[in-house]
């Protein structure tokens, strides 16, 4: 987070003039209804390129230039702000933050002893005016001196009460946005109405805030970030608010019943030193991907009112606050093609081929499209400009087409009529399409997965060897591996006596794997390593699992009413495969399952009743353990292994480069242990 993204280099005066017009047009669209020809990162690069050119050529600066202006100078409002509603200047890393802080402290003539650190919410700034405690008007930022009246949205914004706790006259400032859930609901309503979806939560919020004649209503969310009394207000409350540190102002705002970020993992804090500020910046950045709302940076400001007053403000931004921008997790690029691939269980999944774009620190050329129904819901076409989203380690996904950028040259996406792998028919009865041959369609992928380290762990069984066995007709599924003879293996090319004996020994060891690994090897749709362990420990035996109906399957933690029937149907479908495994002598019970199923019997185990999450690289006695083996260790110790940190998490085992999960655990007050401390805790089981 220490490097600013590159700027747009402008070669000459003509390129500069063209860039200015592009920036003004993009800004006008962005602040009008959330649409734009540029994503946020591209706009930032363009404006910084304009500023760099103007610094070199001050005699060529155009009056329409967006530099130094609120909203790029492209927005005009008709409702005057009592106090200017300014933007923020940006920094892009720790070094730039330190330079800005040093400059501010030189201006003040003393060190800043209290910094406020808050998330920069990715929405639209508005002013909410209350008279005697009642909400009477909503006004957008506009050009900073005047904005647009959007009071018709009163009543549709969560977190903005109709009445405050006190009958005060005050102007609350904050951000209107859509949460992830609200965005999904808004897209569903729009898709049902006209067959299109919103490009992203910000454009959806902008359009919704201004819409007055839509036949459907979309909910918005407000987070307050400040409170201002009228300049001529001499009441006791106004006087107190003007003298309060920003952190106390925010506590007062929350006390009035207005939503702030105080109850979120990215709550504002006060830091005494810049090192603490940077630490909080990194904590907020780490949990960004898991938030139910968008942020694009962190706001750092002087907390004390006297420092703010002494620093003052420029025409565009206050000098006492800065926005620490985070790398973009959303970009606009072109959808060039769609590839259709068949997975190991026969599921047919589309993949978007994109015009390469730098996103969240890496070059993205592919993104998930989920399924054919998802493509139809989003109204995607080849050649579309699309919003691509990525956060943290999440696989990039295509969010939606940017409909207003269509040229008319876009083409429909061709949906396959037969399986792209084997050419057989496709079962389209469920949302996720599947080849009618199921696992047999991609037998090599299914067998390779089953033999993997976290499943049966069959050492020495390479994919090339599996293909050789398939080509020779020796196997059709992974159960057939356990019936192979020494003579059959010796008959394969480049397979000697030692290699054959080693492989047969690996097959024998695999027969003794616990049920959880055997179940995972089956690759039942809707389950994975963690879910396989839960199912195995809940039922104890394969017979009990196969005898369970959907209601019984739902008793396993994490399996809901929608997934349970799929698991039951899948188990019935692969019944012959399970029967072959039983006939081969493969273990079908889970050691210690009866004990783990009864909480009363786990009281003597070190992790009894605890939900444990592992993150980062393990070290010491745990260094050789895979993540799956760590999770197995947790459950042998009486705990429940989980993949995500929540308020229900009892313990986080945090190794090197723990990242966002550690930051979230710290914000929730979850106990954190190093690999060495955890190894001591479960030493008897290692």
Phi, psi of 165, deg, nearest 5? -70, -30
Question: What does each C-alpha distance from 381 to 204, 212, 335, 338, 350 come to in angstroms?
Answer: 20, 30, 8, 10, 13
d(CA 255, CA 425): 61
Token readout for 497 is: 């006596």
DSSP string, 187-221: HHHHHHHHS---SSHHHHHHHHHH-SS-SS---EE
Residues annotated as part of the active site: 120
- The DSSP call for residue 308 is H
Size (the chain), residues: 686
Beta strands in 566-625 (DSSP E): 611-615
Q: How distant is the alpha carbon of residue 219 from its chain centre?
A: 21
Question: What does each C-alpha distance from 93 to 2, 55, 107, 297, 328 come to in angstroms?
Answer: 4, 22, 21, 11, 14
d(CA 229, CA 241): 7
d(CA 613, CA 394): 18
Beta strands in 329-448 (DSSP E): 330-342, 348-359, 362-368, 381-382, 385-389, 397-401, 411-412, 426-427, 434-435
Dihedral over Cα of 69, 70, 73, 78: its sign? negative
d(CA 97, CA 112): 14
DSSP string, 134-177: EEEEEEE-TTSSEE-B-GGGTTSEET--SB-SS---EEEEEEEE
């Amino acid at each position: 987070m220490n490097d600013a993204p590159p700027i747009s280099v402008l070669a000459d005066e003509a390129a500069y003039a063209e860039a200015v017009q592009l920036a003004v047009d993009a800004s006008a669209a962005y602040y009008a209804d959330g649409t734009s020809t540029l994503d946020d990162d591209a706009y930032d690069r363009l404006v910084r390129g304009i500023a760099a050119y103007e610094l070199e050529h001050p005699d060529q600066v155009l009056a329409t230039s967006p530099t130094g202006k609120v909203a790029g100078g492209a927005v005009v409002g008709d409702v005057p702000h009592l106090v200017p509603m300014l933007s923020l200047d940006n920094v892009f890393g720790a070094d730039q933050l330190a330079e800005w802080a040093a400059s501010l402290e030189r201006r003040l003539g003393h060190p800043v002893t209290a910094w406020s650190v808050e998330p920069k919410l990715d929405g639209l700034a508005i002013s909410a005016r209350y008279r005697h405690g009642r909400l009477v008007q909503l006004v957008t930022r506009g050009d900073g001196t005047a904005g647009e009246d959007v009071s018709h949205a009163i009543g549709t914004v969560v977190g903005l009460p109709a009445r405050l706790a006190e009958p005060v006259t005050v102007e609350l400032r904050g951000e209107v946005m859509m949460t992830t859930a609200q965005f999904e609901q808004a897209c569903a309503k729009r898709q049902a109405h006209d067959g299109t979806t919103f490009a992203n939560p910000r454009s959806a919020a902008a359009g919704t805030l201004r819409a007055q004649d839509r036949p459907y209503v979309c909910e918005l969310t407000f987070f307050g970030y400040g409170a201002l009394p009228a300049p001529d207000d001499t009441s006791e409350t106004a006087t107190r608010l003007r003298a309060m540190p920003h952190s106390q102002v925010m506590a007062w705002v929350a006390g009035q019943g207005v939503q702030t970020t105080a109850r979120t993992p990215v709550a504002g804090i006060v830091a005494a030193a810049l090192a603490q500020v940077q630490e909080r910046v990194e904590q907020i950045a780490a949990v960004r991907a898991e938030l139910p709302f968008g942020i694009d940076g962190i706001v750092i400001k002087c907390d004390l009112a006297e420092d703010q007053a002494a620093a003052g403000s420029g025409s565009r931004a206050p000098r006492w606050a800065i926005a620490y921008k985070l790398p973009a997790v959303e970009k606009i690029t072109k959808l060039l093609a769609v590839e259709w691939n068949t997975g190991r269980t026969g599921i047919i999944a589309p993949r978007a081929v994109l015009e390469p774009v730098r996103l969240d620190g890496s070059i993205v050329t592919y993104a998930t499209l989920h399924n054919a129904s998802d493509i139809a819901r989003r109204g995607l076409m080849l050649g579309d400009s699309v919003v691509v989203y990525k956060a943290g380690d999440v696989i990039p996904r295509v969010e939606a087409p940017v409909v207003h950028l269509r040229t008319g040259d876009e083409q429909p996406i061709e949906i396959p009529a037969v399986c792209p792998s084997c050419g057989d028919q496709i079962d389209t009865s469920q949302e996720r399409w599947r080849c009618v041959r199921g696992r047999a369609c991609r037998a090599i992928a299914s067998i390779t997965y089953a033999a993997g380290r976290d499943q049966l762990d069959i050492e020495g069984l390479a994919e090339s060897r599996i293909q050789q066995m398939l080509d020779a007709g020796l196997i059709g599924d992974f159960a057939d591996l356990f019936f192979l003879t020494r003579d059959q293996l010796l008959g394969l090319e480049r397979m000697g006596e030692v290699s054959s004996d080693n492989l047969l020994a690996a097959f024998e060891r695999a027969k003794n794997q616990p049920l959880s690994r055997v179940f995972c090897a089956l690759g039942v749709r809707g389950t994975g390593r963690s879910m396989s362990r839960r199912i195995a420990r809940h039922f104890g035996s394969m017979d009990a699992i196969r005898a369970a109906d959907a209601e019984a399957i739902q008793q396993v933690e994490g399996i809901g009413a929608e997934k349970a029937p799929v698991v039951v149907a899948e188990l019935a479908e692969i019944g012959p495969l399970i029967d072959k495994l039983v006939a081969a002598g493969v273990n079908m019970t889970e050691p210690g399952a009866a004990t783990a199923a009864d909480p009363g019997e786990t009281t003597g185990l070190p992790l009894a009743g605890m939900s444990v999450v592992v993150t980062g690289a393990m070290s010491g006695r745990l260094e050789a353990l895979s993540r799956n083996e760590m999770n197995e260790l947790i459950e042998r110790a009486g705990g429940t292994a989980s993949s995500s940190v929540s308020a229900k998490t009892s313990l986080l085992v945090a190794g090197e480069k723990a990242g966002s999960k550690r930051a979230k655990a710290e914000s929730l007050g979850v106990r954190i242990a190093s690999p060495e401390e955890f190894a001591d805790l479960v030493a008897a089981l290692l």
